[in-house]
Chain A
Amino acid sequence: DADVTQTPRNRITKTGKRIMLECSQTKGHDRMYWYRQDPGLGLRLIYYSFDVKDINKGEISDGYSVSRQAQAKFSLSLESAIPNQTALYFCATSDPDRGKDNEQFFGPGTRLTVL
């Protein structure tokens, strides 16, 4: 079984629609992250959370919101999707207290297309 899962895996939606991407983990990690990946731009951090109810903006948080209601779940919302939010979205987890280093473990990704 995968340690970090994301749903949906693929989604096509229209401009203006509200979209929620879900991330769940069974690793017991406290820290969770949302990234987007675009060709030529690499992975960019959207939001991160170090504990339940803890929310921090990353480098590209505009147009996105997140919710961390439980240790195992971190959801990403696009309140009103626009075409330039078309990207591959990854959730990741880490727990520096457990791991040897501050490495992050990624989910399989969600491919989002906004028409």
Chain B
Amino acid sequence: RKEVEQDPGPFNVPEGATVAFNCTYSNSASQSFFWYRQDCRKEPKLLMSVYSSGNEDGRFTAQLNRASQYISLLIRDSKLSDSATYLCVSGTASKLTFGTGTRLQVTL
């Protein structure tokens, strides 16, 4: 079993749609949680940290459920520019573990 599991997609959604990604992590010692965005052939870039209280950054909302070891990302009012692969990440103090990513394609 992978330490961080995500649905690989692709998710094909029209512009303006709301889309949700989920992932699960297996290491109960994980203390840090993130969503990264990766464009094709580019480096991963931090999208947002994820906290148990939930956090929002514009159209993006992230949620963490420690009891279920489950992380989510909600994107509202999708834009064409949101098309990318979204990496779910969990980590301890010494290292991060990345999921294989969920691909999002936003279309006109």
Residues of A within 8 A of B (CB): 33, 40-43, 45, 48, 50, 58, 88, 90, 96, 100-109, 111
Given contacts A42-B98, A43-B44, A106-B43, 15 further A-B contacts (CB under 8 A): A40-B8, A41-B100, A42-B87, A42-B99, A42-B101, A43-B98, A45-B95, A90-B43, A100-B49, A102-B93, A102-B96, A103-B34, A103-B49, A107-B43, A109-B42
Main SS class of interface, A: loop
Interface size, B (range) = 20 to 34
Total A-B residue contacts, Cβ distance less than 8 Å: 47
Chain B interface, >50% SS class:
loop
Q: Are A48 and B98 in contact (CB under 8 A)?
A: no
B residues engaging A (CB < 8 A)?
8, 31-32, 34, 41-46, 49, 87, 91, 93-96, 98-101
**Of B8, B42, B96, B101, which one neighbours A104 at CB under 8 angstroms?**
B96
From A33, A102, A108, contact of B43 by CB (8 A): A108
Contact of B45 among A40, A48, A96, A106 (CB under 8 A): A106
Of all chain B residues, which has the CB nearest A35? Answer: B98
